[in-house]
Amino acid sequence: MPVETPAAGSVTMFSTTWCGYCTRLKSQMDREGIAYTEVNIEHDPDAVAFVMSANNGNQTVPTLLFPDGSTATNPSLIEVKKKLS
């Protein structure tokens, strides 16, 4: 399934089930009421390709896609909030 840019005010979070950094960021975004769609890269070849293109060929998660088309790899909650403001 092709990767789509998220709606304004939300992010797409590319993750894996075993990623502790992903779990922490999801918990923080839940607490702050930040809307996100989670995509497990282990089950989506298009998502793997997107994450690799955003990270110099590496499958690094969490990688977030913002409404403006930009990405951030393992951002802090403060960085996410700033980018969405």
Neighbouring C-beta atoms of residue 25, cutoff 10 Å: 24
Q: How far apart, in Å, do the first and last CA atoms of the chain sit?
A: 28
Q: What is the mean predicted confidence (pLDDT) over 13-34?
A: 98
Cα diameter, the chain = 32
pLDDT at position 24: 98
pLDDT at position 2: 76
What are the boundaries of each domain within the chain? 10-84
Tens digits of per-residue pLDDT, 33-67? 999 999 999 999 999 999 999 999 999 999 999 99
Instruction: Tell me the CATH number of domain 10-84, given options 3.40.640.10, 3.40.718.10, 1.10.4010.10, 3.40.30.10.
Output: 3.40.30.10
Q: What is the mean predicted confidence (pLDDT) over 2-7?
A: 88
